[in-house]
Amino acid sequence: MFDFRSQILLIAVLAMAGCSAKVGEPISFASACDPANDGKYLQITGYIADDGSVFCSNIGSSKVQCGFKLADAPNSKTQIKVDIDEGGGANSVTKLESGYSKADIKIRDNDGKEIALNKDQVKTSGKLSIAPTGDGSPGVCFMQVDRIDR
């Protein structure tokens, strides 16, 4: 039998374990947007970049998320759209105020360390969504990022 202190400790450990999102199944950048991957929880390696501006909203979600690009190499045009939660902790981007500059963009990895845009290689984990066009063109491919690792 558990005594009261053991029960409290167990609850605390379980609560802390739930704070960190799981690591997605690794997949190559080139094959990530295959329509067969729609809805899968995956991990894609790349470089997070802004597109000159950052759009943040809570459209389709209860939490505010900000849109970035994940590129296969620094300054590459081969990109996947990634949405990152707005917040102040790990795996989030600091809320951007009106008139922000590029230096104000602060994205943190799973350890809470800041990521340099378009310089630090990261592994993003999250649910991939793919909306094919039906005419054979690539369509829309994006990831709702839950976890960012180095």
> If one looks up domain 21-149 in CATH, what number appears?
2.40.50.140
Predicted model pTM: 0.83
Give the residue extent of every domain in the chain: 21-149
Q: Which residues lie closer than 8 Å to 121 by C-beta, 6 or more apart? A: 45, 46, 47, 150
The Cα 95–Cα 97 span in angstroms is: 6
* Tens-binned pLDDT, residue by residue, of the chain (150 aa): 445 454 444 444 334 444 568 999 999 999 999 989 999 999 999 999 998 889 999 987 789 999 999 999 999 999 999 999 999 999 999 999 999 999 999 999 999 999 999 999 999 999 999 987 778 766 799 999 999 999
Contact 49, 118 (CB under 8 A): yes
